[in-house]
A and B are shown apart, each in its own frame.
Chain A
Amino acid sequence: MSERATTSKKVGSLQAQRRFNIAWRLVVAVLAIGFSLFPVVLILSTSINPISQVTVTQLIPDNATLNNFRRMLTDEQFPFARWVWNSIKVSGLTSLLVVALTSLAAFSFSRFRFRLRKPLLRAVLLIQVFPNILAVTALFLILLNIGRIYPGFGLNSHFGLILVYLGGAMGFNTWLMKGFFDTIPRELDEAAYIDGASSWYTFTRVIFPLVRPILAVIFILTFIGTYADYLLARVILTDKNMYTVAVGLSLFIGEQYSQRWNLFAAGALMAALPTLILFYLIQNQLQSGLTVGAVKG
Chain B
Amino acid sequence: MAEPLIRLQQVTKSFGPVDVLKGVDFEAYAGKVTALVGDNGAGKSTLIKGLSGVQPYDGGVVSFEGREVHLTNPRQASSLGIEVVYQDLALCENLDIVQNMFLGREELKQGTLDEAAMEFSAIKALQSLSVRTVKSVRQKVSSLSGGQRQTVAIGRTVLRNAKLVILDEPTAALGVAQTEQVLNLVRRLADNGLGVIIISHNLADVFQVCDYISVLYLGNMVARLETVKTTRDEVVAYITGTKVLEGVNE
| B and A form one assembly | no
